[in-house]
Structure 1
């Protein structure tokens, strides 16, 4: 008999889960309070990051902590009044970043990252999704030789241990690759495996259209109304109540609003981020995404223009936007590239769903086997959506999962 599933959350992860479940014969309804791909998936840096086998650990050097504490950086900002709410997850994040524990995280994280490009292409081949996937990688620049040498050593480790490919570039090679850059850097790394996404929202929509074409349904609704209904589950939508036998929570940073009433309160925390698009002056171009390490932000060539994306802002999820990082970054960005006018009327803001051990939560809810988790991917929801979708669908179907799901199980917290 066909089993029914509600997938709560229509970002890259939720859409990918819904599509994979539909292809395995489930009757699937996708529910979100807004249109598909309009949350955090809309505004990210637009990279399928095959190279990202080392998740970002909590800073452990005193000098770095002092720099962040001054709250004047481009890459990290915080609301002082909201910091107490981050105390427990950030302490756990620091604890999990201890070198031995961090290495265990890397091993589990890399198993997911290693699959990301193949899983995206498996969904995208022969569809309009291919129009926005560019096999051009991205470029990270370094302002001093010491930082470059350390990065190259880690890149070589990523290559040997996890099959990541890269090219080392000197100053001349950088200038040849990106002739419109206004700065000179002694060297950089061109990560050649990642896919650059010229329109992340269009990519989510391409996968969503596949889901709809194959018989999947979508409803605008409020996931926080989730309640048991007999042997199944019910959510209120604009079309009226929607019921299903099983549920997948793919709500990103808002997941705990649904899981906490069900008795599961993960140490999930959100990092807010912003972006703004810019036109380029004259005939200037940016051929591939660039991150200048010294500057602390990314510049991404998109359909809409050059997307400047910020680092992390620690603030209440529902606080008003405070795009101070963009204000700090824009003058620096204009010294890196010949940017012209802003394209957007106002900055975009989204929230990245992070876990203190840097691993997503994937699997059945403890004590509620009909409710499944698929959230907590940090900065890599766009990267890992199809991987997570396949993993969840295989597990819910009772098939052998293609990746060992044990490190991501919800009951680890």
Structure 2
């Protein structure tokens, strides 16, 4: 489908960019995706695989902030900062702390409720339209704890998302054993969100969306955007390292690199990266999990992907350019083996990616400030996979000249 609509450049071939490009191409627009990397092979590759329709609670909260000093001193904790990077990220941190006040947490959670609960429906509709099967399963999302104290520390989050409509089931020790018998019997408390979906291979889902997009006439070009040419308040050309492209509209979905793209466009956004790590562990003859399991005491996830058990953990602040440091994620492996007895130490892959994160845990979705034909779709933090198709639907409305079905003011770049 080449369509007679607008010519649109989508910058970024992660799951958000590809889903957005597919939604636009389905509208009859002529869409080209620019990214030097193949679709889904950067940050979208390595997440824990949850379409988390209960993920309305922001990363920053009063309870979480109390734990930060302890986490930073613990070599096996889920949060670390490379101290040489701290001066550069201070403006982001100041905004993060401001967004972590109780009143702001409640407001942010309510604003996220306008887009998050419908995220699974958006994915399922997109997959159904293109006969994508066998990758996403309705298996839920489980968090487990070894005692009352650690479980009680999550009460505020659970009460907030339940109040906003999330289905959360509290499980005791026996119920946990019935649901996931391979887990250690040490776990005594659990919170199960049965309505979440599990993506058994995030890469394959992105590739399936990319195949559908190409089948409708969409183009992928392995090019890096270097600048933009303007005609008044509109972008006229997108300039890359290899070519120049005229466009009626531009959509920025470049993940953690979107801040640099915005600077090329003439404005700044407070975007940083929560760098995340995973280890892929061979599981052919090992213990079996049915769904992703969050080990709440230590904030890591064990996810039974198609190619092994994926151990994901880590929020590291060091920017987009620093090399990875796998020492912390490797220190977590013994904890994972205690949580899942029989888990092997056969690591088949170690990986690091860049979550594009805003201080208030809300993505930037909407029109770029001061530019008539540029839209934004980035900054999703921990819920990029979750919101990919939902973001694509919203941006397709904007580019097509329709009023979106959701109020985009809470997600506007102007909020900063």
Alignment TM-score, normalising by the size of structure 1: 0.94
Matched, 1:224 2:234: no
1:267 to 267, 270, 280: 270
- Kindly state the Cα deviation for residue 396 of structure 1 after the two structures are TM-superposed: 1.8
Deviations 1:297-338, CA, capped at 9 Å, x for gaps: 100000010000012011121111111221221111111112
Matched, 1:395 2:398: yes
Bigger CA drift: 334-343 or 41-50?
A: 334-343
Q: Matches of 1:203 and 1:28 in 2, distance apart?
A: 19
Matched, 1:364 2:399: no
- Does structure 2 conserve the Cα–Cα contact (< 8 Å) formed by 1:277 and 1:305? yes
- Does structure 1 conserve the Cα–Cα contact (< 8 Å) formed by 2:24 and 2:31? yes
Residues 1:281 and 1:99: Cα distance change in structure 2 (over 3 Å): same
Mapping of 1:88-99 within 5 angstroms? 88-99=91-102
Structure 1 partner of 2:244 = 241
- Does structure 1 conserve the Cα–Cα contact (< 8 Å) formed by 2:61 and 2:105? no
Long gaps (5+) in structure 2: none
Mapping of 1:54-93 within 5 angstroms? 54-59=57-62, 63-93=66-96
Q: Matches of 1:324 and 1:284 in 2, distance apart?
A: 25
1:331 to 334, 338, 346: 334
Structure 2 partner of 1:409 = 412
Root-mean-square deviation (CA, aligned residues, Å) is: 2.0
Structure 2 partner of 1:250 = 253
- Does structure 2 conserve the Cα–Cα contact (< 8 Å) formed by 1:12 and 1:382? yes
Matched, 1:375 2:390: no
Q: Matches of 1:68 and 1:176 in 2, distance apart?
A: 32
Alignment TM-score, normalising by the size of structure 2: 0.93
Bigger CA drift: 82-91 or 173-182?
A: 173-182
Q: Matches of 1:237 and 1:389 in 2, distance apart?
A: 26
Structure 2 partner of 1:166 = 168
1:201 to 194, 203, 206: 203
Bigger CA drift: 139-148 or 104-113?
A: 139-148
Matched, 1:296 2:299: yes
1:27 to 26, 30, 33: 30
* Aligned length in residues: 410
Matched, 1:104 2:104: no
Deviations 1:210-254, CA, capped at 9 Å, x for gaps: 11111111111012344347962223265x333212111100110
Residues 1:58 and 1:71: Cα distance change in structure 2 (over 3 Å): farther
Matched, 1:134 2:141: no
- Does structure 2 conserve the Cα–Cα contact (< 8 Å) formed by 1:119 and 1:387? yes
- Does structure 2 conserve the Cα–Cα contact (< 8 Å) formed by 1:128 and 1:206? no
Matched, 1:41 2:44: yes
Q: Matches of 1:284 and 1:60 in 2, distance apart?
A: 33
- Does structure 1 conserve the Cα–Cα contact (< 8 Å) formed by 2:272 and 2:319? no
- Does structure 1 conserve the Cα–Cα contact (< 8 Å) formed by 2:119 and 2:387? yes
- Kindly state the Cα deviation for residue 74 of structure 1 after the two structures are TM-superposed: 2.4
Secondary structure of 2:40's counterpart equals coil
Residues 1:143 and 1:371: Cα distance change in structure 2 (over 3 Å): same
- Does structure 2 conserve the Cα–Cα contact (< 8 Å) formed by 1:272 and 1:315? yes
Secondary structure of 1:294's counterpart equals coil
Structure 1 partner of 2:353 = 350
- Kindly state the Cα deviation for residue 155 of structure 1 after the two structures are TM-superposed: 3.2
Structure 1 partner of 2:123 = 120
Q: Matches of 2:36 and 2:228 in 1, distance apart?
A: 13
- Kindly state the Cα deviation for residue 168 of structure 1 after the two structures are TM-superposed: 1.6
Long gaps (5+) in structure 1: none
Once superposed, which parts of structure 1, at least 4 consecutive aligned residues long, lie more than 6 Å away? none
